Every structure is written in structure tokens, then in C-alpha cells.
Homo-oligomer: A and B are copies of this chain.
């Protein structure tokens, strides 16, 4: 009833929601951005089927968001770009979070059914 490709997309979504809601609100400054990027990536890479995570915190956006003298702000989707690759069975899913129309969007960029490709079955009939 549920295909591997559907399961792969579901897993990709879980990783994105996890990353966002685990780390949103973290105090961040340009000084601490590198360690946070790395910890976010490595934490989520622990999760099942998660093949790679890249987090880029935008130091300029962070600086602009620092609106008080304390010199830090809280992490939100506006301050970072995220790329993630999830693999489930023969399916590889590429996702990305980036700003669109002034709002951070989590996007399903590509869903590749490796099995179908291997078969030369371009129209991916099981999907």
C-alpha cells in the first residue's frame, strides 16, 4: 500500500522537521555559527536513511538579525540554507531549505528511483 519511494519522501520530511524544530531558537552569532552548522549536520546524519546534511548559516543575515547589544540572535529558517540527501531502498531523495518570496521553504528537489534507472525504465512505473 505504501511504496518505497513514498517511504523515502516521508523519511526525508522527518529529517527536515527534526532539524528545524530541534535547533530553531538556538542562540547564534557569527562566532558560533560554524560549530552549530556542524553539530546540526552530524546530529541529523545519525537518523536512519539520512546520507548527508549540509547546513550553511548566513553570517550576514545573522548580523542583520542581531537587534540588540548582546550580539546574538536566535536561529530561524531565514538565517540558513540546508541541503539533505536521504536514501531509502533504491530511492534517493534530495531536499533543500532556502528562502523563497521572503519565506524559508523546505523543498523536495529530486526523487530518483535508482532501481528504475538501472532497468532503463525511464518512466519509473512503480512511482
Residues of A at under 8 Å CB distance from B?
1-3, 5-7, 9-22, 24-29, 31-32, 35-36, 38-40, 42-48, 67-68, 70-72, 74, 76, 93, 95, 101-103, 106, 108-111, 125-127
Picked from B40, B72, B93, the residue with its CB within 8 Å of the CB of A47 is B72
Complex interface: chain B residues within 8 A of A21 (CB) = 17-22, 25
Complex interface: chain B residues within 8 A of A13 (CB) = 9-17
A107 → chain B closest CB, angstroms: 9
- Stoichiometry, as copies per complex, reads 4
A2, A39, A70 — which one has the most chain B CB atoms within 10 A of its CB?
Answer: A39
Picked from B18, B32, B42, B71, the residue with its CB within 8 Å of the CB of A32 is B42
Complex interface: chain B residues within 8 A of A7 (CB) = 9, 108
Picked from B17, B38, B126, the residue with its CB within 8 Å of the CB of A15 is B17
A11 → chain B closest CB, angstroms: 6
For the complex, what is the distance from the CA of A109 to the CA of B2, rounded to whole Å?
7
